[in-house]
Structures are given as structure tokens and as C-alpha cells.
Amino acid sequence: MNSNEAAVPSVDSATRVTVYEQPLNERMRNFLRLDFLYQQAVHHHTKADSWSTRAAVSSLLEILAITQRGDVRGEVLKELERQMAQLAVYNTRPGVDTARLRVAMTKLHRMREELSNVGALFMQKLRDSEFLNAIKHRSTIPGGTCEFDLPDYTHWLNQPDEVRGADFAHWIAIIRPLGDAVGELLWMTREQGRPRPEVAPGGVFHLALDRDVPAQMIRITLPSGTDLYPEISGSHYRCSVRFLVWQDAGSRPIQTTQDVRFTLTTCT
């Protein structure tokens, strides 16, 4: 499957670099989207104002929409099993930090048990909520969640932060076994990648991937503050990268003609 989706950037403030991630299969694409929405919901949930609560609810509804398409829980459980099987191999290798390995295995086992125990219909209570469904329905209309469209939503948003916070904490707790497991799987996938320096001649780079060891995602690291960013397209067999020069919000970016040095990480 080819993909021309924009890479997902993240800024590492400790090392002052920007990382762009590109998923190479549908499972990883869903995982990255879920993690993005889950982290966004948790972030806005910590804020006390009603505007942040609106943003948190919006992220929650998007999570419900993603998980309604296909068996995402089943995919997460499969990936947990795969990661546990990979870690088990290290038990027989010399020089491995067995204590650290045991902690990682225990954490994955706990997450698998929690996600298994909630059952396949663990989000049904959220999907059956008339309150959330009303917000979801009106959210498809531009400005459809304002006070004259949803007076009950406005009334709830005007409640004290403790009330809104308690309600949202209950909703996010239902999703947490999935969100935490996805976050852990993404962390492990990133940690297993081996970064290497590369050069894109004239701003273009082509990458052929190992067919016997399918890659989950690629990561491109650039120094923070550069005016360049990558446009990535491809599949789990090969990828192409073009480095574009950011002008401003009112101008089209242009492809650089200079050689670009960057760090490439292939995650399996």
C-alpha cells in the first residue's frame, strides 16, 4: 500500500532536534493516530478552562471513530504478543541486562492482561452515551457545538472544573488500557530502530527496505530550527524522501537543490 501522508513531527527539546515519523503499514498508521489523539486528550484534560475541555472531548470522539473501524484492540493485542516474543529471544543472549528485560516483559504482560480483561466491547458504554453522541453528531457541522445547538453541552461546560474533570476522567479511564498499550508499543518500536547518518543528494533520498524483515516505520531527524522538512511517500518495500524549504504560511514550499544531511532510523 502506498502512502503520501504527511509525516508526524515531534520535537525533542533535550537534544534540539525534530523527528518526522512515517508509518509503513495500516497497523502502525492507526497506532500513531491513536497515540496522537490520546496524548492530546490527556493534555487538554489537565487544563481547567472549558475551551480545553472542548478540545479533550473532540479528541475523545475521534478516538471512538478510529476504534469503530476494524478490530484495533485485536491489533494491539497481536503486537503485544509479537513484542513479547521478540524480547523472549534475548533471554538466551549473553550480555543482556536481565533485570531490565524482566521489567519490560512484566510491563507488556500486564498491559496485555488489562486489555484482554476489558473485553471486545469495552468502549460500548461511550458509544451508547446520548450526551457524547449528540456532540459527535453536531461536530460534523461547522460550529455545530455552540451553545444554541447544544445547550446541554454548554451547561456541562459551565460546570465547575471538578465536575467536568470527574466526568472526563471516567471516560478516559475506559480508553486508558488501549491508549497506554499503544504508547508503550510505539516506544518499543522506536527504541528498536538503529539511527544512521544519511545524505539526500539534491534534496532527494530513496530507501529500499528489507523484504524479509518488514519495517514498521521510518524516522527522519533534523536539527531544530532548520527551514527544511521531509515529504515522505512509499510502502514497506521502498520509500522516497524529498526535502522541502519552508517559506511562510502564505507561500508554497519548494524542493531544495542542496545536499541534505539527516539521521535515518528504520524501525522494525
Strands across the sheet with 260-267, in order?
8-12, 17-23, 217-223, 260-267, 194-200
Q: Which amino acid is at 267?
A: C
- CATH class for the domain made up of 194-267: mainly beta
Which pLDDT value is given to residue 95?
Answer: 77
pTM over 0.85: yes
Residue boundaries of the structural domains of the chain: 26-191, 194-267
pLDDT the model gives residue 12:
62
Domain 26-191 in CATH 3.20.20.410? The answer is no
Q: What is the average pLDDT across 61-66? A: 96
pLDDT digits (tens, 9 = 90+) for 218-257: 999 999 889 999 999 887 788 999 999 998 999 999 999 9
Q: pLDDT, tens digit, for every residue of 79-105?
A: 999 999 988 888 778 878 888 888 999
State the chain's mean pLDDT as an integer: 91
**pLDDT at residue 220 in the model:** 96
| Confidence band for 15, pLDDT divided at 50, 70 and 90 | low
pLDDT, residue 186, reads 96
Instruction: Supply angle C-alpha 66, 111, 127, rounded to 5.
Output: 30
pLDDT of 8 > 70? The answer is no
Q: CB under 8 Å to 233, separation ≥6 — which residues? A: 2, 3, 4, 239, 240
Residue 29 predicted with pLDDT over 80: yes
- Stretch 46-52: mean pLDDT: 93
